[in-house]
Amino acid sequence: MRSPDLEYLRRNYNARRQSLIRAAPSRRVPADSAPKGKRKEDYLRTIYELQRSQGSVRMRDVSRALGVSMPSALEELRELEREGLIRYSRGSVRLTEDAERLAERIDRRRRTLEEFFEVILGAEPEEAERMACYLEHLISDELLGRMECILRFAASHGQELQELMRGHCAGIPRDRLK
């Protein structure tokens, strides 16, 4: 016979699980219909990376880096300018101070996720990058903070942790790891 508390927990778990499944984004959404926030974050992060690597940024640099047409890039850059996130003049693009802080935060989220997937989960760099790109827009600050804490622990106890993970996951096919 099940205890009432256990039954309550099981019902709530299943209800929460179903709501998460229903709320999960479909994998069939075309790239051009990405949520506005995700697209904006991708543009800000790209401009931030280009500014750091080459100093001045032109619209065509952003267009090439994101793999979008010049008119699409222009439309999004004008929107970012209206929102006060960039300065756009004669093809030259520059982040405002607020946008730079936001882009640094986005970049930190992505780097943390990539490192977590590679160091803790043992993902290949390409897979880690792909998943980080997807999840950087969805993950909460609290969960990201927990991942950073685990990464700090792994840095100070790296060898022990790697041996523990290898021992625990040794010989288990990837599709069976859960």
Show which of 95, 114, 137 is a domain's final residue. Answer: 95
Q: What is the CA radius of gyration of the chain?
A: 21
Please state the separation of Cα 164 from the chain's center in Å: 27
Cβ atoms of residues 106 and 41 within 8 Å: yes
pLDDT tens figures, 132-176:
988 988 889 899 999 999 888 888 876 777 666 666 665 555 565
- 79 within some domain: yes
- Domain enclosing residue 70, as ranges: 31-95
Task: Give pTM, 2 decimals.
Answer: 0.65
Per-residue DSSP letter, 86: E
CATH (domain of 82)? 1.10.10.10
For residue 99 the two structure tokens come to 């946008």
CB 63 within 8 A of CB 121: no
CATH, residue 111: 1.10.60
Residues 91 and 108 in one domain: no
Phi, psi (degrees; rounded to nearest 5) at 134: -75, -45
* Structural domain count of the chain: 2
86 - beta bridge partners? 95
Boundary of a domain, candidates 49, 71, 95: 95
- Predicted pLDDT of residue 10: 56
CA distance 65 to 165: 37
